[in-house]
Structure formats: structure tokens, C-alpha cells
Structure 1
Amino acid sequence: MEIILIIVQILILVAIVIAYFMIKNLLPSYFSEKGKNIATKEDITEKVKTVESSISILTGNIVDYNSLKRNYILDYFGAYNNWQRTISNNEVDYSSNAKEINKQRLERILEAKRLYNIKEGEIELFISDQEFYQARTDLTIETLKFQQLFEELSLEIEHINQKNETNKLDVISEKLTQYRKDTISYTKSTQKFRNILISYLEKELKKMMEK
């Protein structure tokens, strides 16, 4: 992406050179074409605006690139937050309709993960260094483990309900207790990797503001 900025800067320099020659060569010829008529202030202003607009188009590319990159960073992190919160906000159901309820909740989690995958691919157009890749990978893997915890318990609850054993409520209660402990553990571990990623993205946003 540094190459893109260099190219844009070169284009801006070219535009300035073009503007110089336009002002130097076109305006004198413009006055001579007027000949007998005296150029008005409005005529001159219109020519200058034409030159300025060609420069503005090129200089605007830098602003547009930084704005676009900023939006992609925010969208990417927003997609991650949505995925992680969808997991943590969906408790595993253990009622008689647990199979269908948990299936619907898992579908919401998988949809959030799908949206995150899209943003994960898009952000690589703007950030691709090793530090970001490592921070993103660590957080994604830890969150996948959190998601897998939900999937595994859902299947276990389904199997327990199918058996109709007399002590099934006790078994389910024990598994739910363990699930909640694991949930707290994964919440802490994902928060650690999340903070690392936040720190990196904050640096990227600050660098764009300094340009």
C-alpha cells in the first residue's frame, strides 16, 4: 500500500507541473485570443478553477484511500465483535426443544462467523504485515475454540435428551456448570488477544491521521 501512496504522490507532482504550464501557456494565449476584448475577472477565474479541479481530483485520492482504509478497519473489527458477542450471548438450551433451539442459535453464530470471514479477507487489501497477521490469527483461533465449545455442548445435550435417563437433569446440570466455567476462561483469553489486535489497529489509525 506504500507503493500506491508513492504513485499518487507522483501523480500529484505531475498535476502541479501540468497546472504550471497551463497557467503559463494557456492564460497568455487566452488573453491574445481575446484580442480586442478585455478579459473579465470571471473569465480568468473560470480558467483557474479548471486547473485547480485537475489537481483536486488527484490530491483527493490520498484522502479517499485513507478514508477507505479507515472504514475497512472499523468494519473488520465490528464484524469480529459481532461474531464474538453472538457466541457469548447464546446460551445452550437444554429443554425438550433443545435440538431445534440450539440449531437456530448455532446458525446465528455461523452467520456471524461468515460475515467476519468476508471482512477478514477485505482487510488484507489494506493491511498484510506479519504483526497484524499474527494478532488476527491468535484471536480468530481462540474465538473458534469458544464457538466449538457451544457446538460440542449442544450435541451432548441432544444425546442426553435422546437417552431419557432418570438422572439426565443432573448430568445436564453438571455439563452446564462446566460450560459456564469454560466460557469465563475463553472470554478472558479472547480478551487478551483482542486487546493486542486493538493496540495494533489503533496504531494504524493514528498513522493515517498523521499523513
Structure 2
Amino acid sequence: MEYINTIILLIAFLILYFLIKNMLPSYFGEKGKNLATKQDITDITEKVESVKQIFTAQNEKLKFNLQFLTSSQLGLYQEERNAIIDYNQKLAIWINVLTNSDFAGIDTKSSLEIEEYKKLISNSYSDLLESEAKFKLFVDNSELTNQADNLKILILDKLCDIANSCLIELKYNNINLERSGNDTEKLHDERMTFHDNYNKSIVENITLIAPVIREFRKNCKDYLYRLIKTTEQSH
């Protein structure tokens, strides 16, 4: 009986041995694989999240840079637009001062008012030059800036001397009137001649300049429309 029990016990140990030898390593191997797989997934997930964070940060930085560049570009477009409008306004004022038929209604018998009008001519030209500096700084169109230069030179050549010369003649006529005795009719006729010659010269020369002015304004207008379209496309 004890012999049989010993054999049964031995068989039980053998079975247990084979179970431990064959099944447990397989179990722990699978368990290890599962643990390794979970660890790999964790590592991969962490790497993916890290890459996503880097990508998101780079994307936000890129978006910020693009927004900054767009905003800067729109700001330049606005400055360019303002420079064109301001230059045309200053140009119109300067031309009007030079070609006003009665010198804006001043009393041409007053030497003081004549001097004030001469200052007005000088100041309007100074304002134009100041506007021109901004015009050339912001307007990115050499054809337009060259056209502005040529127009300014043409006006200086054809109109500036006419107004200033007439004002100087009127001033000296005033001095002669103050000094004269009874011979004032001749001086008054002389004044009328100054005015007539001034107006004829203005009409003659503005007729030559007017087409150039119209062309310049048209080109400015067309360029402004292109700027507006470019600005709308940038939004």
C-alpha cells in the first residue's frame, strides 16, 4: 500500500514538474510579452504626443509669423495708399496757388498781402516736397515716382515763374503808385497789363500741363485700385 502511495506521489510530482517546466515559462513568457507590448505602446504614445506637441508649437509659431507678416504688409499697403492720396492733394493745392487768376482775392495794391501770397506759394511747395518724401518712401512703383518727378519739374518750369514774376511787378507798381504824383493812370494801365499777361500765360501753360496731370492722376487711381484688390486678397 505504501509502495502504491509512493508511486502515486512520484507520478504527481512528475506531472507537477512537467506542468512547471512547460506551462509556467509559457505563461510568464506571454505575460512578459504582454507587459512588453504595453510598455511599447506607452513609449510610442509618449513619442506621438511629444511629436504632436512639437508640431502644434511649430504650427502656432508659423501662424503667428504669418499673421505678423500679413499685418505688416497690410500696414505698408495702408501707408502706400495714404502717401499717394496725400501727394495728390498737396500737388493740387500747389497748382491752384500757382494758377489762381486773382491770387485768391488778395488786395494786390497791398505789398504786405503780396508778400503773404508769395509765402503761400513757397509753403505749398514745401508741403509738396514733404509729401513727396513719403510718396517715394512708400510707393513701390518706379514708373509712378518717375512720373511724379517729371510732372513737378514741368510745373516748376511752366508755372512758378509766372506767378512770382507777376507778384513782383505788382509790388513795384505799388511802390511807384505811392511815389507818383498825378501820373497814376499809366501805372494803373500797367497793372492791368500785368494781370492780363499773367492770366494769358497761365491759360497757355496749364493747357500744356493739364494732360500730364490727368495721366498722372489716372495712373495713381489705377494703382490705388490694385492696392485695394491686393489688400482684400490678403485678408
- SS of 1:124's equivalent? helix
- Number of residue-to-residue matches in the alignment: 172
* 1:160 equivalent in alignment to 2:160: no
Q: Kindly state the Cα deviation for residue 137 of structure 1 after the two structures are TM-superposed.
A: 2.9
Q: Which whole-Å CA distance do the structure 1 matches of 2:148 and 2:74 have between them?
A: 26
* 1:70 equivalent in alignment to 2:89: no
Q: C-alpha deviations, 1:121-140, integer Å up to 9, x for none?
A: 221122452x3344223321
Q: CA RMSD in A?
A: 3.0
- Relative to structure 1, the CA distance from residue 25 to residue 182 in structure 2 (aligned partners, 3 Å threshold; closer, same or farther) is farther
- Relative to structure 1, the CA distance from residue 176 to residue 112 in structure 2 (aligned partners, 3 Å threshold; closer, same or farther) is same
1:136 maps to which of 141, 148, 173: 148
Q: Kindly state the Cα deviation for residue 143 of structure 1 after the two structures are TM-superposed.
A: 2.4
Instruction: In structure 2, give the amino acid aligned to 1:154.
Output: L
TM-score by structure 1 length?
0.68
* 1:179 equivalent in alignment to 2:198: yes
Unaligned runs of 5+ in 1: 1-23, 31-43
- Relative to structure 1, the CA distance from residue 107 to residue 58 in structure 2 (aligned partners, 3 Å threshold; closer, same or farther) is same
- Relative to structure 1, the CA distance from residue 27 to residue 74 in structure 2 (aligned partners, 3 Å threshold; closer, same or farther) is farther
Instruction: In structure 2, give the amino acid aligned to 1:115.
Output: D
Bigger mean CA offset, 134-143 vs 144-153: 134-143
Q: Which whole-Å CA distance do the structure 2 matches of 1:76 and 1:88 have between them?
A: 18
Instruction: In structure 2, give the amino acid aligned to 1:104.
Output: E
Q: Which whole-Å CA distance do the structure 2 matches of 1:78 and 1:116 have between them?
A: 9
Q: Which whole-Å CA distance do the structure 1 matches of 2:52 and 2:73 have between them?
A: 32
1:202 maps to which of 221, 224, 227: 221
Q: Which whole-Å CA distance do the structure 2 matches of 1:168 and 1:94 have between them?
A: 16
Contact kept in structure 2, 1:79 and 1:119, CA below 8 Å: yes
2:211 maps to which of 182, 192, 200: 192
Q: Kindly state the Cα deviation for residue 51 of structure 1 after the two structures are TM-superposed.
A: 6.8
2:71 maps to which of 36, 40, 60: 60
Instruction: In structure 1, give the amino acid aligned to 2:167.
Output: S
Contact kept in structure 2, 1:90 and 1:105, CA below 8 Å: no
Q: Kindly state the Cα deviation for residue 54 of structure 1 after the two structures are TM-superposed.
A: 4.3
Deviating beyond 6 angstroms after TM superposition, the runs of 4 or more aligned structure 1 residues are: 24-27, 48-51
Bigger mean CA offset, 134-143 vs 167-176: 134-143
- Relative to structure 1, the CA distance from residue 201 to residue 154 in structure 2 (aligned partners, 3 Å threshold; closer, same or farther) is same
Q: Kindly state the Cα deviation for residue 82 of structure 1 after the two structures are TM-superposed.
A: 1.6
Q: Which has the higher helix share?
A: 2
Unaligned runs of 5+ in 2: 1-47, 231-235
TM-score by structure 2 length?
0.62
- Relative to structure 1, the CA distance from residue 26 to residue 200 in structure 2 (aligned partners, 3 Å threshold; closer, same or farther) is farther
Instruction: In structure 2, give the amino acid aligned to 1:107.
Output: K
Instruction: Report the equivalent of 2:131.
Output: 119
